[in-house]
Structure 1
């Protein structure tokens, strides 16, 4: 049985440990109370800090960065973390902006991480769309990641990235067997754009899990920011209406605590 340990640090940020590898998703380590602009008249305040400080992290082998253009997925301290990581995987546009050896992956591009004495990690970039149709010129490009390695029993570890439920996310369900899904939820919206959502709502996450049928679905990216409009309570209300075979797949991780997951 494959070992997998996840630590939800806060927001979209999680530490993934398996087979001697340590990977970090979307590093956000700034303290709360700051305001961040996202462009086109949108902005938000950070209301909660990370459960672990950047200085508390173990050495990181790679960062999986869904996108670099928004401060709730890569903040100022997170950029310092990037500079310490040997490998940064992100979107092609993000890699061009970041430089410093960041590797850009187009959707369905595959790369592999190798190290002596460790299993090879296969990383597949998966489609993501950070808003409604035609929103990419405003929100920029985003990617998800699917991780596979020898010994997995239940399928890939999939990190959705900031995405709504759309054809690309449904394609993941068709093309991949997913054992563990880290779902970026929160139903993000801004006053200036009214009811438009930029990440999955609770209802979308539940619907996607009906398609994916992962062994374990773990919500992230639902707390700590003012523009996250669907927190844990909203997700639990939606789960209460869901069929038991979907509801029982969801698992909440305590922030800052390493949790073992059957992979």
Structure 2
């Protein structure tokens, strides 16, 4: 998982998120935090990073002055999205904050090109020069000049186990890069399958009805650059976040802990809901994890803390959050889970900071 690409993020020189903005929102713009959670096993009060839950799979991850927006969906209750041939879903909830109310954002992490993760309102509103990290398929959809009158211009694609280093540039000499300790976030694409293996997957490969999807591994820490003449660069990881993305519990996920070589996952954001196509009234195909699969993923990844997201915002969800809560409580994993409602935040400490 050696980084093959680099992106420099400078909080003092942010791009505006929206195309009708002249400058980025000020850092003084605050998220409306309803409640703050910390590690269930106890807090020392030294947390310096956070995850804020907006709704569905949309979160803001913040550390060291950098904010990453995941899977932006800002539709409201009653709005509809198109999820494939003949399949639509209605939003049942409102986001904790609207798109234009966000504080300054540095980049977007998009798991796949599906309207419940990147809705048409977002696509039309975003600054086309804004940095987006996503799948090869989504990059093609976002940048294609043939299908887009105004394509996105700075989309970075990561396939499974491809990595990219997000360098956090600062004016302060201690964070200027050079040969020393500098904060960075290593982003690695993780395996995911939105459609179960077998004949349906083969049919979907031909029809392209359900798009390919990634999970993500975010490693927050500090880079150490080698002396002049060497391109070597390592990361002293202080916190790992695994985001499952819209995947089922498939064999490919077994590769993740093997590659980590028993290195700890501090936080897992798991996409649940048991999303069904065409919907709960006719559940022909499940394309995201339900409660049982969510527990299996916890058992496989063994994260220190798990936060379920993507569980009740749309009409296509069959497996309620209450099923997952009962399952983890019954199996003795309840103390490892933090439940965030929209507008709530989980705060954590990055080691070595």
Q: Secondary structure at the residue paired with 1:139?
A: coil
Measure, in 1, the Cα distance between the counterparts of 2:69 and 2:189: 15
Q: Does 1:116 align with 2:165?
A: no
Deviations 1:204-245 (A, max 9, x none): 111111111111101000011000111221111212221x2x
Q: Deviations over 1:118-160 (max 9, x none)?
A: 6111110111100211525231211111111226877411111
TM-score where L is the length of structure 1:
0.91
Map of 2:147 onto structure 1: none
CA distance in 2, matches of 1:109, 1:16: 21
Shift of 1:194: 3.1
- Specify which of 100, 103, 107 is matched with residue 55 of structure 1: 100
Q: Within the alignment, does 1:41 sit opposite 2:94 as a pair?
A: no
Conserved? CA contact 1:158–1:182, under 8 Å: yes
**Structure-2 separation of matches of 1:249 and 1:165:** 20
Which residue in 2 is equivalent to 1:221? 310
Q: CA separation of 1:157/1:84 partners in 2, compared to 1, >3 Å: closer, same or farther?
A: farther
Deviation, structure 1 residue 86: 3.2
Structure 2 distance, partners of 1:22, 1:80, is: 21
Q: Secondary structure at the match of 2:292?
A: helix
Where is the helix percentage greater, Structure 1 or Structure 2? 1
Which one of 69, 75, 79 corresponds to residue 24 of structure 1? Answer: 69
**Equivalent residues, number:** 260
RMSD of aligned Cα (Å): 2.1
Show the counterpart of 1:254. 341
Out of 182, 189, 195, which is 2:276 matched to?
A: 189
Distance in 2, matches of 1:85 and 1:48, equals 30
Q: Does 1:205 align with 2:294?
A: yes
CA gap of 1:50–1:84, structure 2 versus 1, over 3 A, is farther
Q: Which runs of 5+ in 1 are unaligned?
A: none
In structure 1, the residue matched to 2:158 is 105
Runs of 4+ in structure 1 deviating by more than 6 angstroms, as ranges, are 151-154
Q: TM-score, normalised by structure 2?
A: 0.69
**Aligned 8 A contact 2:240 2:266 in 1:** yes
Contact 1:36 1:71 in 2 (8 A): yes
1:140 correspondence with 2:211: yes
